[in-house]
Structure 1
Amino acid sequence: MNRSAIASGVKCIDEERRVLLTFKHHLTDPSGRLSSWSGHNCCQWNGLSCDNHTGHIVKMDLRNPYPYIVYDVEWDFVDYQRSCLSGKINPSLLSIKHLYYLDLSWNDFQGIHIPNFLGNLTSLRYLNLSYASFSGEILSKTLSWLSRLSSLKYLNLGGVDLRKAGVSWLHYVNMLPSLLELHLSACRIHSNQLPLSLPTLNFTSLSVLDMSEFFFNSSIPSWFSNLTSLKTLDLYGSTFVGPIPNDFSSFKNLEHLDLSGNQLEGQIPKLIGNFCTLKTLSLAENLFEKEVIRDVLNGLTDCSNSRLESLDLSLILLNYELPASIGKLHKLQYLTLQGNSFLGSIPESIGNLSSLKELTLSSNHLNGSIPESLGQLSELVHLDLSHNLWEGSLTEFHFINLTKLDSFGVSTDRPMPLIFNVTYDLVPPFKLRQIHIENCLVGDAFLVWLQSQTELFEVTLSGTGISGIPEDWLLKISPQLMILDLSNNQIQGKLPFQSKFPQLFILDLSRNRFSKSIPINFGQLMPNLESLSLSDNHLDGTIPPSICEMQYMWILSLRNNQFFGEFPRAWSLWGKISVVDVSENNLSGNIPSSKGIPSSLVILKMSNNNFGGKIPSSLQNCSLLSRIDLGGNNLSGNLPSWIGSMVTLHILQLRPNSFSGHIPKHLCNLVNLHVLDLAHNNLSGTIPKCLDKLGSEDSSDWDVYNYDERTTIVSKGRDLEYGSSNVDLVKGIDLSLNNLEGEIHQEISSLIELSILNLSMNHLHGKIPTNIGNMSSLETLDLSHNHLLGEIPQSLSTLNYLNHLNLSYNNFSGRIPSGDQLQTLTDPSIYEGNPSLCGFPLSTKCPGDDKPTTSGNVPVEDNDEDDNKKLGLYVSIVFGFITGFWGVCGTLLVMKLWRYAYFRFFDNIKEKIIVGIAVKVARFRKRNL
């Protein structure tokens, strides 16, 4: 609404009013945003502005008031969707001839083409069509309409798919000489649509260029450096590679530079014009050398009057101490250094950053005590110190002046926890909305301290040693609470829920001592819950049917409790469920399928219960299933052949049960399967030859966010537990303790990535495949308790990773092969029950092993021959060592370039392993908070 027009009594042109009503008629407006478009004076209608003198409509701002904001956890998709305008852009808009401002962003025009008549609105100086679900296909044919807007100063086509526009998009943009701002974020332009050079560049007055979130995979075009008037350059997440062009030093006026999320490397052109002009700088997630970033930091802190307000150097694997000079950046408001390997402590000079609003130091190797000077940052709103190596304690002095603190996170990865040492009478000077504390001892005084925080919508207190949580405090925050994580504590008693939590979407109470049953009305208390983890407690009773009323449920983990009775039959109501884990309980009955099984399932774990009956056939409708564990039940019947159609399966565990019949050949269709465990059943028949097809395609497994998965796999003769981060590394087949017969087919030797093969306790006969040595990744091989015979293949000695072997109780004969790895397996029990075997490590010697070796009984020629053989062996060993050493190390010593690359490779590998998990956590919090 144009208030000045109203004050001056200006009324709109009647013809334009009728045009606007026609325009409105073709739009869909579910929230009534255009309800004010009635009456005679259109200058008073929402979203419109008139010229104060002529009454002509000059501005139309119909931007959705609920745009998606990445870091806003309170953003509501329902509010956004209800506020979206949709429908048709009527050509009557052309009658608004004086329109210079048009904003239709963040609406939902459901893929309609951008109308080319917009090019006739020649008065336009501002055009924003971003993220409004327009189709860009029409642009490939009629993009010329854009060139007619010669007065255009601002153009935003963010989110419009320009892939089919070829290079013409740039040709027509280049015909806009008045253009000052160009926003093309996430337009899907590829490298072949972005020429590295341009003969002429007309929009040299450009001050803002946003080409973020592309997929270029090419170097930065050299013509960028001709945009010498640039004040803002945003290339975030566009996968540019290689060095930054040296010509970038021409940016003398640059104030905002974002190069994050690329693969840039090498040097950074000297000061990129002048570091001292920069207000925001982000170099995060690139491949710059550590020394380069150190130079950047020095250059920034050397500015006598630094203007820097925001600095992001996260995820670059920096591994040195934070310089004390960082305290010179007095105007700094946002400092993000997460996901690196910074060492040492936080410099005391951090307290000099009096303007600081956000400080993120998470996922580093910072250690020592947290300095009390942090308590002087009176403007601080967000403080994240999580996932470091802190020691000592936090006291009230760390928070004394943090009156504006809104979000606080701290955790330590040290065995000895950080102590949260506040006094009972302390009233915090702030009102937090987010608190995230892990692996810190907080004490009873903290719970008193916590009760003053009544505006929280996210609470994580994991591994803090608390034994209870004040129910009256939970009642105070329940209306706005969205995330509650009290995992890994010692909280006892019943679940602390007496009231409704209408906004809660993540609840994690796992690894506590909760007992009793889940409230019957649990589903009504938390209608919007998406993730529920109550695993590793002492809960009992039945699972209430009301839990199926949580229609947004995504993850359900009730693992390792004492639930009994049947699983709720209405679980088919979960339309979005990805994970159901009810393993290690006392549930019984059949797996419910009468009402269907949720087709959205990715992980299904129901192991170690008392389920009976058959595998329900409706499970085959779950086309996304990646992991199935139904072991440790009383399931029976034949293995259904339709399992072979579930091509997304990566893990199938059915041990132990009472399955019978043959192993269906259809299982060989599971080309993504890397763990097949059918052990401890009553399966008969032969092993299918085609099992060598298992896991032949190495596609990545599903990564279900925020699910603490645990998978138990029998390996190396014992149960080993794997988490979601490393279970994909295991590749195994276990068919042990069945009634299988026939031979071990040679084809199985082609599974060169298999690490576990257990065929023990069957009725297999014949020989071990001679080329079993091809299975170069094998770590566990158990063929015991069968009827196998013949000699053990010599190729077995080439399995360099083999550390668990059991060939006992068969009919093997002859000498046990020798080899470096086999020589480490010294337990004779792995060969017992084979009376015709001989050689190390058995006490039974092979024929010829007792041949005399003394010189009195052996001809001199034989002694000389033995000595010659030994000499030849020693010479071969020495020669082999010299050849191997100089073939690798010698080359590295001589070839300087190779030497640097070799050691840099292992250095990078080491650092990536150390910070990999921390980086993943940091990325998740950045994406979802």
Structure 2
Amino acid sequence: MLPSLLELHLSSCQIESIPLSLQSISFLPLSLQRINLTSLLVLDMSYNGIKSSSFSSWFLNLTNLKTLDLSGNDFSDHFPSEFSNFKSLENLDLSGTGLKGQIPEVSGNFCKLKVLSLSGNNFDGGIEEFWRSLSNCPSNTLESLDLSSCELEGQLPAFLGMFKSLQNLNLRQNILWGSIPDSIGNLSSLRTLDLSYNKMNDSIPDSIGNLSSLRTLDLSYNKMNGSIPESIGQLYELVSLLLLGNSWEGILTEAHFINLTRLQDFEVGNIDRPMSLIFDGAYDRVPPFKLHTICIINCQISPGFWVWLQTQTELSDVILRGNGISDSIPDEWLLKISSQPTSLELSYNHFHGNFPSHLQFPNLTMIDLNHNYLEGPLPLWCFPDANSLYLEGNLFSGPIHSNIDQMMPKLQELFLAENHLNGTIPPSICNMQKLQILSLRSNQFSGKLPHAWNMESTMVFLDVGQNNLSGKIPTSLGVLSSLEILKLNDNNFSGQIPDALQNCSSLKSIDLGDNKLSGKIPLWIGGSNVSKLSRLLLRSNYLNGCISQQLCNLQGLQILDLSHNSISGEIPEEISSLIMLGTLNLSMNQLTGKIPSKVGNLRWLETLDLSHNHLSGQIPQSLSSLTSLSHLDLSYNNLSGRIPSGNQLQTLNVSSIYIGNPSLCGVPLSTKCPEDDTFTAKDAKDKNDDGNDKLWLYVSVVLGFIVGFWGVCGTLILKTSWMYAYFQFFDDIKDKVALAISLKLARFKRFLF
């Protein structure tokens, strides 16, 4: 007989019929079947595709287990209640197993547990019950707890501080809210605290400074506010301080960093909006640490910060975005760090002057200098590993280097828009097979667009709009099968729209507006090859012909702008089937016929411009059902009849919308419709008839009163004998009533006495 097995590792064996759902262990070799598994201490069956949560008896008898790893399987069920048998467990890993429901109190049976990982499951309900179940143990031995990405919600309990042996606490990416309890300071053994990507609010408690063993503090992307406590500066062991994505206030001073001798990673700021937090770098003191990563976004930087930063010569990642830094970028500092950085982002500041072009950044993969005031020649260095270059919104001038494909062979994103670049676009750009985004918008490039596009290209976004490019649109663009966005607008391109573009089957947006293109709108626009198209802008060209019914097949179309062309013919009724349209601009053409009667079907339409055409007939009443409409222009056509009213049209009560249509009438125009006069005469007649009726009513009331009053009273006055008889009658009635009352009172008194 073989001795008892103490460890069994079956990780990533891809055993589909794993014995958790069987009543035997027949899958094991015969030599292993004779081993006594009840003494097993370590069992690792992670990543084996286990789908059942019905555990067999042999497994449940492993009561001596100290380490159990079932991570990466697929239970898709509630927390296994059978695990209450494993009271000797010290390490339990059920991460990524698809568990759901609440974490039950059975977890409180694991009083010897040191490491518990339940990350990446689908728990619901609050987290408080879980903490209470853990607190049932007389002594808390838990050292590491990972509940990240579990969808747990609720507040951190005040009794959290009782888990004094806890070293790692990861609650990243849940739905936790409320403030961090002061008792957090009792976790003196804590090394990692990760509460990022939750909804925690309020400020950081001062007690955080008691965590003398803390190495990583990650509170990124919560809703925290207030000032950052100076007690942070007491965390002598801290390596990573990550506070990005909150709304901090106050001032970060030397006191926050004076004792952080091990600090390597520092992140603070808010990506969405500027903060009032001030980073006050000291002029005269060298920080006690050497940062590897610094990320400060949308904060306020003191004048001494730049001197402070130059002491950091071991930086690999630099992100200083939107901090209002107004200075030149010192060559000496860049020279010191040039061999290390993998990313350098200085965007949305006020940097000015020339950026040094003689430096080498052998490890740099991303550089972002967007939206500054940098000038001089385009600093295209030799970046053998660079994949992203962002230089938009500066004052760079001159041409693009002709051998850019050799300088940056791995480049995927090139943003050079909104500068003063000129010359021609080098053909070598076509050789950059990994280039996915090319943005050259708003420069002064001239000449032709390169023709030698390669069919192996992975281009997704191509924008050369607002330049001085000319010639025909190259048919070789048709080989860019992955192209989604094509923007050639505001240039001098001529000729027809090439049919080869229909081969760009991934196209979602085409903007060829403000050029000199001629011919008809190609029939392939609307065909099955470009069925994903959502934006089509062909405005301000020399296009003619008509709007084809095939164009109306683009059911996902959101913007259609064909304005300022020579397009004739009628608007097809089928255009009302483009129910996703938000903008429809057909102005400044030669369109005839009527406005489609079912235009009201375009329920998401916000902008409708049909002005300066030859449209006739009445404005459809269905137009009033466009509840999202915010801009309407039907001016300068041949429309006639009454302007419809109701719903959204009531808010567009401006006469300029309809001006230039002499046969239109009604509000908001001053021209009345012919039937308005008939209505006025009828209303006046009804008013007169109503007045006469009221007069006869008053006369009848007065006559009735006169006849009634004088018919009785007048007779009594004229006939004395009748007057005496009338009053004698009332005297007799009065006496009879008085007698009846007296008799009733006498009977009532006898009843009482």
Q: 1:858 aligns with which of 667, 670, 686?
A: 686
Q: Tell me if structure 1 keeps the 8 A contact 2:215–2:239.
A: yes
Return the offset for 1:364: 2.2
Contact (CA 8 Å) 2:619, 2:640: kept in 1 or not?
yes
Distance 1:572 1:213 in 2: 44
Partner Cα distance (1:386, 1:784) in 2: 50
Determine the structure 2 residue equivalent to 1:541.
398
SS in 2 for 1:623: coil
What corresponds to 2:44 in structure 1? 182
**In the alignment, is residue 156 of structure 1 matched against residue 32 of structure 2?**
no
The corresponding residue for 2:349 is 489
Aligned to 1:677: 537
Q: Distance in 1 between matches of 2:244 and 2:364?
A: 23
Aligned residue runs from structure 1 range 701-720, under 5 A: none
Q: Give, as a single letter, the amino acid of the residue that structure 2 aligns with 1:847.
A: P
- Aligned twin of 1:527: 384
Amino acid at match of 1:503: N
Shift in Å at residue 595 of structure 1? 6.0
Counting only pairs closer than 5 Å after superposition, residues 563-602 of structure 1 correspond to structure 2 as: 563-594=421-452, 596=454, 599-602=457-460
Match status 1:500 vs 2:346: no
Q: 1:393 to 1:152 in 2, by over 3 A?
A: closer
Per-residue CA shift, 1:411-449, capped at 9, x if unaligned? 146645422213211110101111111122323422221
The Cα shift of 1:655 comes to: 1.2
Q: CA deviation at 1:854?
A: 9.2
Give the 3 Å change call, closer, same or farther, for CA 231–151 of structure 1 in structure 2. Answer: closer
Cα offsets for 1:110-156 (capped at 9, x unmatched): xxxxxxxxxxxx9999xxxxxxxxxxxxxxxxxxxxxxxx7752333
SS of alignment partner, residue 525 of structure 2: helix
Determine helix, strand or coil for the equivalent of 1:527.
coil
C-alpha contact 2:245 2:268 (8 A) present in aligned 1: yes
Q: Find the counterpart in structure 2 of residue 194 from structure 1.
A: 51
Residues 674 and 369 of structure 1, relative CA distance in 2, 3 Å threshold: same
2:281 is the alignment partner of 1:422: yes
Paired with 1:768 and 1:234, the residues of 2 have a C-alpha distance of: 67
1:284 aligns to 2:148 (yes or no): yes
Once residues 653 and 430 of structure 1 are traced to their aligned partners in structure 2, the CA distance between those partners, rounded to angstroms, is 51
What residue number does 2:308 align with? 449
Classify 1:488/1:237 alpha carbon distance in 2 versus 1 (closer, same or farther; 3 Å): farther
Aligned to 1:71: none
Q: CA deviation at 1:608?
A: 0.7
Residue of structure 2 in register with 1:320 after alignment = 178
Structure 1 residues 239 and 752, CA gap change in structure 2 (3 angstroms): farther
Equivalent pairs counted in the alignment come to 668
Q: Among residues 663, 686, 690, which one is paired with 2:546 in the alignment? A: 686
Answer with 1 or 2: which has the greater Rg.
2
**Which of 331, 335, 343 is residue 475 of structure 1 equivalent to?**
335
CA distance in 1, matches of 2:263, 2:462: 41
Cα gap change, 1:554/1:765 in structure 2, threshold over 3 Å: closer, same or farther? Answer: same
CA distance in 2, matches of 1:742, 1:123: 92
* Contact 1:760/1:782 (<8 A) preserved: yes
**Structure 1 residue identity aligned to 2:231:** S
Query: In the alignment, is the contact (CA less than 8 A) between 2:460 and 2:485 conserved in 1?
Result: yes
Deviation at 1:485, TM superposition (A): 0.6
CA pair 855-583 structure 1, distance change in 2 beyond 3 A: closer
Hey, what's the Cα distance between the residues in 1 that align with 2:441 and 2:192?
45
Of the candidates 390, 410, 415, which is equivalent to residue 557 of structure 1? 415
Specify every segment of 5 or more residues in structure 1 that has no aligned partner in the other structure, as ranges: 1-121, 126-149, 697-729, 865-929
CA contact (8 A) 1:551 1:573 kept: no
Alignment partner for residue 804 of structure 1, among 595, 608, 631?
A: 631
Ranked by relative contact order (alpha carbons within 8 Å, sequence separation 6 or more), the top structure is: 1
The more displaced of 558-567 and 810-819 is 810-819
Quick one: structure 1 residues 592 and 218, their matched pair in 2 at CA, closer, same or farther if it must change by over 3 Å? farther
Deviations 1:700-757 (A, max 9, x none): xxxxxxxxxxxxxxxxxxxxxxxxxxxxxx9211111122122222222122222111
Q: Which amino acid aligns with 1:446?
A: F
Report the Cα offset of residue 244 of structure 1: 3.5
Distance 2:130 2:312 in 1: 48
What does residue range 45-194 of structure 1 map to in structure 2 within 5 Å? 153-157=8-12, 162=14, 165=16, 177=37, 178=40, 180-182=42-44, 184-185=46-47, 189=49, 194=51
Q: In 2, Cα distance between the equivalents of 1:213 and 1:537?
A: 49
Aligned residues of 2:104 and 2:130 also touching (Cα < 8 A): no
Secondary structure of 1:453's match?
Answer: coil
Separation in 1, partners of 2:88, 2:67:
9
Indicate yes or no: 2:653 matched with 1:826: yes
- Inter-CA distance 278–681: structure 2 relative to 1 (3 Å threshold): farther
Report if aligned partners of 2:395, 2:419 keep a CA contact under 8 Å in 1.
Answer: yes
Give 1:230 shift: 4.0
**Structure 1 residue 378, shift from structure 2 partner:** 0.6
More divergent stretch after superposition (797-806 vs 239-248)? 239-248
Q: 1:423 to 1:575 in 2, by over 3 A?
A: same
> How high is the sequence identity, in percent, across the aligned residues?
44
Flag the 1:862–1:632 CA change in 2: closer, same or farther, 3 A. farther
The 1-side partners of 2:194 and 2:426 are apart by 46
Counterparts of 1:335 and 1:661, CA distance in 2: 65
Give the match for residue 223 of structure 2: 365
Tell me if structure 1 keeps the 8 A contact 2:247–2:275: no
Shift in alpha-carbon separation, 1:767–1:517, aligned structure 2, 3 A: same
Long gaps (5+) in structure 2 = 693-753
Partners of 2:341 and 2:211 lie apart in 1 by 32
1:285 aligned partner, one-letter code: S
- Could you tell me how far apart the structure 2 residues matched to 1:202 and 1:780 are? 67
Are 1:744 and 2:571 an aligned pair?
yes
The residue type paired with residue 320 of structure 2 is L
TM-score (norm 2): 0.82
Q: Does 1:783 align with 2:607?
A: no
The CA deviation string for residues 527-586 of structure 1, in whole angstroms up to 9 with x for no partner, is: 211110011000000011232221111111001001101112112332322111111111
CA RMSD of aligned residues (A): 3.0
Structure 1 residues 364 and 684, CA gap change in structure 2 (3 angstroms): same
